Chains A and B, each alone.
Chain A
Amino acid sequence: MGREMRAEGGGQGAERARWEDAAVPAAPYAPRSTPHAPPPAPLVEVAGVRFGYGERAVLRDLALALAPGEFVGLLGPNGSGKSTLLRLIGGALRPAAGEVRLAGRPVRGWSRRAFARRVATVAQAPVLPEGFTVAEFVLLGRTPHLPAFGSEGPADYAAAGAALVAAGALDLAERRLGELSGGERQRVALARALAQEPELLLLDEPTAHLDLGYQQELLATLRRLNREAGLTVLAVLHDVNLAAATCPRLALLHGGRLVADGPPEGVVTPGLLELAYGYEAQVIPHPQTGHPVVLPRYTTALGEGA
């Protein structure tokens, strides 16, 4: 949907057209401020965290820190603990040992409401209760900003509207959740999280089940929010190439440990891919951007066996 409308200059003064126009993410965004010189205090600190489901250890002595305004992609094979780490940071799970801190304070020390005003999560398969309209659903994201028995006011409509615009979902506002396609569901889930006006956005494989165009569009939206609004983003990503092209910093999990952390060039390497995924690959720089691009080698399992 958004892809067709990406072409500039849709509105000819007609009101409806301008609403749709406003929903389209615009291309050029000026960075809000100059890059900060001294490293600021970390927004999120994961210090020596251990976690397991029953006997099985999932995370072992994991340490990770995110500065405000960072955009970090979390990579790793299935079962490496990516989602678990995200849920620990999001407060849904408690570490067995170690500590997760938000803005210097342990996650457990935050009140749930105050925490929810700072951290929002987009789940891997977001629950979208059918029958509600998109706008009603996105307004639910205002819950941490409202008194327990309160109801929404103009400021909440403004925040929800801005979230819908930022997620490129304003044109969906009147639709019912049950009628949305996969790509629309992801945008709506993102809008719901943005309506919380968080500082930190956690996303668990937001591009799963999306086609190539939507994957790119979603990550572009996130990157824009990161640059323009200073939103700190931590996203679990499956597609290594997409992650390398989007994220200035990547973290690679393997067996519950962080095996690499840094700019894409240092993380997406044949050696680390072989170690983490057991995947033999060649890595070449992208001809235009220079980002590392993974090319499969297809030697062992596919080529020789046939």
Chain B
Amino acid sequence: MRAAGRGRKAQGKTWRDDPSVPSSRFALRSRPHAPRSTLHALPGVRRGARWVVFGALALALLGTVLVATAWGSVSIPPATIARMVVARLPLPAGWGGAVDWPAAHETIIFTIRLPRVVLAGIVGASLALAGATYQGLFRNPLADPYLIGVASGAALGATAAIVVPLPAALYALGATQWGAFLGALAAVATVYGLARVGGRTPLTTLLLAGVAVGALASAATSFLMYWHGDKLLPIYSWLLGGFGTGSWRQARSVAPYLALGAVVLLPAARLLNALQLGEEGAQALGIHVERLQLILVVVATLVTAAAVSVSGLIGFVGLIVPHIARLLWGPDHRTLLPCCLLGGAIFLIAADGLARTVLSPSEVPVGVLTALCGAPFFIFLLRRSKRDVF
């Protein structure tokens, strides 16, 4: 397990008998080193298993996508779906096999089910990645991506966009989505600005400011809902969240933010580990803590806001997926973040698949389902694993 993934040295050797490795200043000269050892690098470093886990999760994601796309009132076998996708790839002729499915099925898959599944996957990955980042950043297992105002800001923005009479053309362009996105960013910017004291942003102040701004925005949302009783249904269904209107356009608009999150947050995983030493401890390791915190907050917020803007408020994903990943694979963010990325997608695709099939033809709000399946599993893991989470 430890030996996998680090091909630089022959197996069975350690740093102790590799002559190319410069010896440390603190290597003891008065003691001979152990000449041979089966330990590969350093006992207690769990690295190799990481790539096995990533591979398994990626396969699981692929399977979930196929199964979820196959689910529905019209049953289409996953194998057929796979061949449909292959047929659309720019491959040499004859690779995809014969087209033996009705054209209507292809329409169902490519204009209704697949965009919805992809969107759910992107949103799940975004929320879980952002959640894991926030939990690491605040060193608090109860942190979730909605902690510092994203949710309440997005709700206010979306509500405002729904109640303000806008030309229909703007709604077609996603006015609600933009309202939610800008509302979320404005709320977090306000929170961060309020929490900034003399060039520093203490995390506790950030949390308190998040609570205060969140309460303010929620009050404003409630007022708008009360004042525009006729718009209650669209507002409420947005707040509950879901992918009923999922489209390729929405998926395309969110994907870049998830890509940004992955490009910035995954390489920062080791620094996120170092932040677990506390602000002073991390600073003593030469890290610009304030700058790192700002970057992490900005990126995680962008990722969350984009996800929320297309899906509404889906709770529990950003809280529970990182927890499950941590319980299963440990707290190292270099394992945790990619696992959250993949696991969040799997989780939300599965939840949305259930949401639209359990009570078919009517749909269960997916947020209800995420809580319904997430909470018991979480409790089970918590009871099973007696060791502390953080």
Contact = CB atoms under 8 A, between A and B. Distances in A.
A127 B331 contact: no
Interface of B: 8-9, 14-16, 18, 20-34, 36-39, 41-46, 139, 267-268, 270-271, 273-274, 276-278, 280-281, 283-288, 326, 330-332, 334, 387-390
A22 B280 contact: no
Given A144-B286, A162-B23, A194-B26, A157 B41 contact: yes
Interface in A96-125: 111-117, 119-121, 123
Given A15-B34, A15-B36, A178-B388, A131 B28 contact: no
Interface string A200-223: 000000000000000000000000
A176 B287 contact: no
Among all A-B residue pairs, the 8 with the closest Cβ atoms: A135-B44, A116-B286, A162-B24, A113-B286, A144-B286, A129-B276, A131-B331, A173-B44
Contact of A174 (B38, B44, B270, B334): B44
A175 B24 contact: no
A130 B389 CA distance: 7
Dominant secondary structure at the B interface: loop
B276 A154 contact: no
Nearest to B281: A127
A294 to B, nearest CB: 33
Interface of A: 15, 18-19, 21-22, 26, 28-30, 90-92, 111-117, 119-121, 123, 126-127, 129-136, 139-141, 143-144, 146, 148-151, 153-155, 157-166, 170, 173-176, 178, 194, 196-197, 225, 228-229, 231
A56 to B, nearest CB: 19
A126 B281 contact: yes
Contacts of A92: 280, 283-284
Given A153-B8, A162-B25, 7 more contacts: A15-B34, A28-B30, A92-B280, A112-B286, A133-B44, A158-B18, A162-B23
B34 A19 contact: yes
Contacts, number: 177
Contacts of B38: 15
A144 B285 contact: yes
Contacts of A140: 273-274, 277, 285
A176 B334 CA distance: 17
A305 B388 CA distance: 49
27 contacts: A15-B37, A18-B34, A22-B31, A22-B34, A26-B28, A127-B278, A129-B390, A130-B389, A130-B390, A131-B330, A133-B45, A135-B43, A135-B45, A141-B285, A143-B270, A143-B274, A146-B270, A151-B270, A154-B8, A157-B15, A162-B28, A165-B28, A166-B28, A173-B42, A175-B44, A229-B25, A229-B26
Nearest to A149: B267
Contacts of A175: 44
Most buried by B among A22, A134, A161: A161
